[in-house]
Amino acid sequence: MVLYQPIEEPQLLPVCSKSDIIRITRSDSSSNAPELLNKLNKNKSLSNNWWRTTHDYVKATLPVWADLDLEARDYDLATALKVLRARKNIVLQGAPGCGKTYGIPEIVTRLCGVLDSDTSRANVIKKYKELVGSRVFFTTFHPSLDYEDFVEGYKPIAHTGDDAPSGSSANQGEFERRDGIFLLACAAALNQNDEKAKDSQKSNLPRLLDSGPDARACIYNVVGDKEAQTLSFNKITEKDKSSVGTIRIEIKTTELGLNFATTEEVVKWVKARNRDEDVEDIENRNLNKFFNNPKKGQFVVSFCGPKRIDAIGQVLENEITVHTIDEAEGRYVLTRPVQWFFLSEDSTERTEESAGGISTEPYYADKIFRQAFFKLEDKIPVSTLKGILSERNLIDSTARTKPVVLIIDEINRGNIAKIFGELITLIEADKRGDISVMLPYSRTQFTVPSNLYIIGTMNTADRSVGGIDYALRRRFAFVRVRPHSLSFKSDKKEHSLEFQEELFNDVSRLFIERLPDTPASPVKRNEKYLSEAYNPEDVWPGHSYFVTNSRCNIGYRWRYEIRPLLEEYIRDGVLKPEAIEAIENIEKEHVKA
């Protein structure tokens, strides 16, 4: 084991094995970390070169430490980051002053992987500003915004100086088609793909499909005689490190209780059965799993022994091909295409005693039973499988695309159907890159790139708009950002910041009975003051109202921000009349006359 202490930020980090690097860096960290650990394992001497390699290794894991730092400081924002990576579309919702907009740079810089060991607010803002205009786009929704502003539309041409038309043409309006911010963000995301594609042209290695947030892994046993094994792997030569083959399962219609006379009937049945829902309506357990588990982008693993795997594959298509063995007897083979990556040279010529491949013990210590199409992701996660392939230089790691983020402030203030139009379907995570529509003005086919992420913010106390469109709710994950106490040290001595915790606690008790013990704990409404028609988390004033300095002291905050909000709540029936006396008592206790 190696212990390394970074000079800039002292801490001991264990570097034990390849399984550690896969566990620490995960699938969304730097792709060169496994390669760096390889160098460490080969060079044990304490030379300058070894020291530099160790330093580079620790730097490669920094994105993970930045995530952990955020989780320690702000639970809600850390949760939002995790959900965003999985769903691609989120809405930060909460009462005013909870830090929804404030937290966006924290989320975006970590999503884009641009933070180093410095996670201070100043560095976060610096890195965020560097992304704006190239990988980060910002807009605000409002009731008058429409499709032509957001996606594309015709706008009048503004002529100036010598370009201005004269004579009769001066009164004739001229228009040009312009891209809205959504198309601009999508174009930026596609440019990231193009840059990566150019880099990957230098490599002849296969590229993984975008497996999405719900990628699974299952065991696929290549069973049968040598011919069946060869057909599955489809290796041209024994030295091939990868090939496009299949996963296969043989069926006999009479054993399944199916009375089909022709291959066409079997093909029709397979197409009808190969749907999205995971159902087990066939008596053959393995056939059920073949239909349900290994879909496009998911991974399959070939086990050649109790603790050894000799091939990892990624399913290339959802469609199932039917091959006829004997139509009269009702014998057929069903296949799905798979990109196989081989971990040993004898994958198609092995016995149980002379199993090749690699050991699974560094990744999962217990024995894994080799049941066909058994779900494996709980044992060995997909990120580990990707790490194994990258570590052995079997895939093109340069194909990873950089995230591009579209930020929509006040997303609930816009008319979603009017703004998104037909594109509301394309923003779903599982529709990215697969479904396209023709844009009405440019008359071009358009699809939303898989590396575009959308973050919306929503003020839950805003009464000027109605409820959120159900179409939006289906396509976005809603993450609540709640008020909480702050503990910080200001970098500015002249105008040092201070959090008025006692005032925050007293105002909070108008809405909830007591502050939650942990960030994830539920809150109980204060029935004495809060109307039963309101959720306390929707109207409970956020922590930013209670941050003061020499320029904006507690008296200013109370008179011009906090008290007017509370009085508005009383007029609108959010707070009951009984709260008036409580508000007066809070003012007497905390605010000097």
Residue 181 pLDDT: 92
313 and 362 inside one domain: yes
382-416 residue pLDDT tens: 767 777 787 777 877 655 578 999 999 999 888 88
Could you tell me if residue 53 is inside a domain? no
190-213 residue pLDDT tens: 877 555 555 545 567 787 876 654
- The tally of domains found in the chain comes to 3
Which of 366, 395, 424 corresponds to the end of one domain?
395
Q: Which of 121-125, 141-145, 352-356, 398-402 has the lowest mean pLDDT?
A: 352-356
- Comparison of pLDDT for 164 and 539, the residue scoring more: 539
In the chain, the amino acid numbered 223 is: V
pLDDT at 424 exceeding the cut of 80? yes
pTM for the model stands at 0.62
Mean pLDDT confidence for 223-248: 76
Question: Residue 354 is encoded by which pair of tokens?
Answer: 């002379």
Rounded Cα–Cα distance for residues 68 and 56 (Å): 20
Could you tell me if residue 255 is inside a domain? yes
pLDDT at 68 exceeding the cut of 80? no
86 and 197 inside one domain: yes
262-307 residue pLDDT tens: 999 999 988 888 765 556 667 677 787 788 767 788 888 887 777 7
Which residues are within 8 A (CB) of 592 and not within 5 positions of it... i.e. 6 or more apart? Answer: 555
Measured from the Cβ of residue 298, the count of other Cβ atoms closer than 10 Å reads 23
553-578 residue pLDDT tens: 999 999 999 999 999 999 999 999 99
pLDDT at 144 exceeding the cut of 80? yes
DSSP state of 535: -
Could you tell me if residue 270 is inside a domain? yes
Could you tell me if residue 522 is inside a domain? yes
pLDDT at 347 exceeding the cut of 50? no
Q: In terms of residue numbers, what domain contains 278?
A: 217-395
pLDDT at 66 exceeding the cut of 80? no
Could you tell me if residue 251 is inside a domain? yes
278 and 136 inside one domain: no
282 and 407 inside one domain: no
- Comparison of pLDDT for 586 and 177, the residue scoring more: 586
Which of 481, 510, 536 corresponds to the end of one domain?
481
Mean pLDDT confidence for 363-367: 65
253 and 133 inside one domain: no
Residue 587 pLDDT: 93
539 and 570 inside one domain: yes
Measured from the Cβ of residue 167, the count of other Cβ atoms closer than 10 Å reads 6
φ, ψ for residue 334 (rounded to 5)? -100, 135
Pairing verdict, β 308-315 and 331-342:
antiparallel
**Hey, which bits of 350-422 come out as E strands?**
358-359, 404-409
522 and 378 inside one domain: no
Residue 249 pLDDT: 86
pLDDT at 523 exceeding the cut of 80? yes
Of 77, 72, 188, whose CA–CA distance to 453 is shortest? 188
pLDDT at 323 exceeding the cut of 70? yes
Rounded Cα–Cα distance for residues 287 and 269 (Å): 13
191 and 241 inside one domain: no
Rounded Cα–Cα distance for residues 525 and 520 (Å): 16
Q: Which segment, 24-33, 68-77, 197-206, 346-355, is predicted with the most confidence on average?
A: 68-77
Q: Which residues pair with 452 in a beta bridge?
A: 404
- Comparison of pLDDT for 508 and 17, the residue scoring more: 508
Which residues are within 8 A (CB) of 24 and not within 5 positions of it... i.e. 6 or more apart? Answer: 33, 61, 64
DSSP H helical ranges for 274-411: 285-292, 382-391
334 and 374 inside one domain: yes
pLDDT at 466 exceeding the cut of 60? no
Cβ(62)–Cβ(116) below 8 Å: yes
Handedness of CA 452, 460, 520, 535 (dihedral sign): negative
Could you tell me if residue 336 is inside a domain? yes
522 and 455 inside one domain: no
Could you tell me if residue 20 is inside a domain? no
252 and 132 inside one domain: no
Residue 177 pLDDT: 83
Residue 135 pLDDT: 93
Cβ(135)–Cβ(405) below 8 Å: yes
Could you tell me if residue 56 is inside a domain? no
pLDDT at 10 exceeding the cut of 50? no
322 and 237 inside one domain: yes
What CATH number is given to the structural domain containing 78?
3.40.50.300
Of 511, 507, 519, 516, whose CA–CA distance to 537 is shortest? 511
Q: What percent of the chain has pLDDT over 70?
A: 70
Which of 395, 420, 435 corresponds to the end of one domain?
395
Q: Which residues pair with 32 in a beta bridge?
A: none
**Hey, which bits of 439-510 come out as E strands?**
445-446, 452-459, 477-480, 498-499
- Comparison of pLDDT for 569 and 461, the residue scoring more: 569
